[in-house]
């Protein structure tokens, strides 16, 4: 996919109202030739944004994304925070384009305290997924952000953190009216067996603590069919889910809700660990009680019935009376 330049974002912000803008007006606003405007907008299209061109009227963004804005997110957080006593001191930063919000926060953590630092990007050029995979997102059509958090404890205590984060994300989506979203161990967000989003935790620190974690969350908001078709797994987005229920997707509001729920879960996790989230996680697990095949990191497979997760977030599979726990791997439904 093409990479959007900062100029591309300047143009897209001009088009964010969803109205027609003539090539001439756009060119004058950003100080470019009309030919260059046309070229930059072609790049925007190639990065997944749907544009309409009409002779005599100009350009119009179909499904204008409503760009992320730190002040709007702050206002929403105050609104949500009033309903909840846990107030997190948050530093919010929005960037148009970055390699990866998680890579950048991890880099910053070498030099300073990133506790409560939220970094969200309209577009990642090298988004990372779990197990070394890449994460595809569309400019203005995804939510991609990372949150830094410090814990006094070490890696063992944090083993279930990514699952607790999954609970926070589903709570936030539900609070915003998106129902039917489930978790898939360890922390995929799915809707009717299609992947909606994912969570990536980067952990730095001593085994006994303290630790600094970078919590990366990616959610598909509006993925064009051309992008979906290129992905290796069936995916969905919030727009498809919302369309059926006539809900508009307000990414600023949603991001604020996600941060609000995340902060509450992280505060609780810091003192109580994963245990208080285990029952809710299981309840939200799409594969709870199902026969699954687990592909282990070494390529071996194990089958069993999902009994649940233990207090450290490990998957527990039952094979008759025997129970076995697994810390990593990929599960898929086993055909009967």
Task: Please report, as ranges, the residues that interact with ligand BTN according to CB under 6 A.
Answer: 100-102, 124, 127-130, 133, 135, 144-146, 188, 198-200, 216-218
C-alpha torsion sign, points 135, 138, 141, 145: positive
14/330 with CB nearer ligand BTN: 330
129/276 with CB nearer ligand BTN: 129
State the Cα–Cα distance between residues 137 and 47, nearest whole angstrom. Answer: 9
Query: Least CB distance from residue 103 to ligand BTN, whole Å?
Result: 6
104/176 with CB nearer ligand BTN: 104
Edge to edge, the sheet with strand 211-220 lists 91-98, 117-124, 142-151, 211-220, 194-205, 188-191, 181-184
Query: Least CB distance from residue 14 to ligand BTN, whole Å?
Result: 26
State the Cα–Cα distance between residues 53 and 42, nearest whole angstrom. Answer: 11
Query: Least CB distance from residue 195 to ligand BTN, whole Å?
Result: 7
Query: Least CB distance from residue 101 to ligand BTN, whole Å?
Result: 4
11/161 with CB nearer ligand BTN: 161
State the Cα–Cα distance between residues 101 and 204, nearest whole angstrom. Answer: 16
Task: Quickly list H helices, 177-250.
Answer: 225-228, 238-245
Query: Least CB distance from residue 187 to ligand BTN, whole Å?
Result: 7
72/106 with CB nearer ligand BTN: 106
- In this structure, the number of other CB atoms found within 10 A of the CB of residue 56 comes to 6
Query: Least CB distance from residue 245 to ligand BTN, whole Å?
Result: 25
Query: Least CB distance from residue 240 to ligand BTN, whole Å?
Result: 18
- The answer to whether residues 329 and 293 touch, using CB atoms and an 8 Å cutoff, is no
Query: Least CB distance from residue 302 to ligand BTN, whole Å?
Result: 21
Residue environment code for 125-140, b if the CB has 16+ CB neighbours within 10 A, otherwise e: eebbebeeeebbbbbb
Cα separation values, 276 from 17, 35, 167, 263, 282, Å: 44, 59, 11, 15, 11
Query: Least CB distance from residue 181 to ligand BTN, whole Å?
Result: 14
How many Cα atoms sit within 13 Å of 200 on the Cβ side? Answer: 24
How many distinct helices (H) and strands (E) make up the chain?
Answer: 10, 14
27/203 with CB nearer ligand BTN: 203
Give the residue from 190, 286, 199, 186 showing the smallest Cα distance to 241.
190
84/133 with CB nearer ligand BTN: 133
> Cis link prior to 186 (omega < 30° from 0)?
yes
41/138 with CB nearer ligand BTN: 138
47/100 with CB nearer ligand BTN: 100
- The answer to whether residues 216 and 113 touch, using CB atoms and an 8 Å cutoff, is no
State the Cα–Cα distance between residues 318 and 53, nearest whole angstrom. Answer: 58
Q: What residue number has its CB nearest to ligand BTN? A: 198
């Amino acid at each position: 996919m093409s990479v959007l330049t900062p100029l591309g974002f300047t143009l897209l912000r001009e088009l964010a109202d969803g109205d027609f803008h003539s090539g001439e007006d756009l060119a004058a606003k950003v100080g470019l030739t009309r030919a260059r405007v046309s070229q930059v907008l072609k790049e925007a299209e190639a990065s997944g944004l749907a544009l309409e061109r009409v002779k005599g009227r100009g350009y119009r963004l179909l499904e204008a994304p409503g760009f992320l804005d730190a002040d709007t997110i702050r206002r929403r957080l105050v609104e949500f925070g009033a309903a909840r006593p846990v107030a997190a001191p948050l530093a919010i930063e929005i960037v148009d384009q970055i390699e990866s919000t998680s890579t950048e926060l991890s880099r910053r953590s070498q030099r300073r305290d990133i506790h409560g630092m939220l970094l969200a990007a309209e577009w990642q050029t090298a988004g990372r997924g779990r197990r070394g995979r890449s994460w595809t997102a569309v400019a203005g059509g995804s939510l991609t952000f990372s949150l830094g958090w410090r814990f006094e404890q070490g890696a063992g205590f944090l083993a279930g953190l990514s699952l607790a984060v999954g609970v926070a994300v589903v709570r936030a989506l539900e609070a915003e009216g998106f129902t039917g979203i489930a978790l898939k161990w360890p922390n995929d967000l799915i809707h009717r067996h299609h992947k909606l989003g994912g969570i990536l935790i980067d952990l730095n620190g001593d085994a006994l603590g303290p630790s600094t974690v970078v919590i990366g969350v990616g959610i598909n908001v509006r993925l064009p069919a051309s992008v979906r078709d290129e992905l290796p797994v069936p995916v969905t987005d919030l727009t498809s889910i919302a369309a059926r229920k006539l809900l508009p997707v307000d990414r600023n509001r949603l991001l604020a809700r996600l941060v609000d729920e995340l902060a509450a879960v992280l505060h609780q996790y810091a003192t109580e660990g994963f245990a208080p989230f285990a029952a809710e996680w299981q309840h939200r697990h799409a594969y709870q009680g199902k026969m699954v095949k687990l592909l282990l990191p070494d390529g071996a497979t194990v089958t069993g019935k999902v009994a649940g997760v233990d207090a450290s977030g490990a998957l527990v599979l039952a094979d008759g009376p025997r129970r076995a726990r697994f810390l990593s791997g990929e599960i898929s439904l086993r055909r009967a």
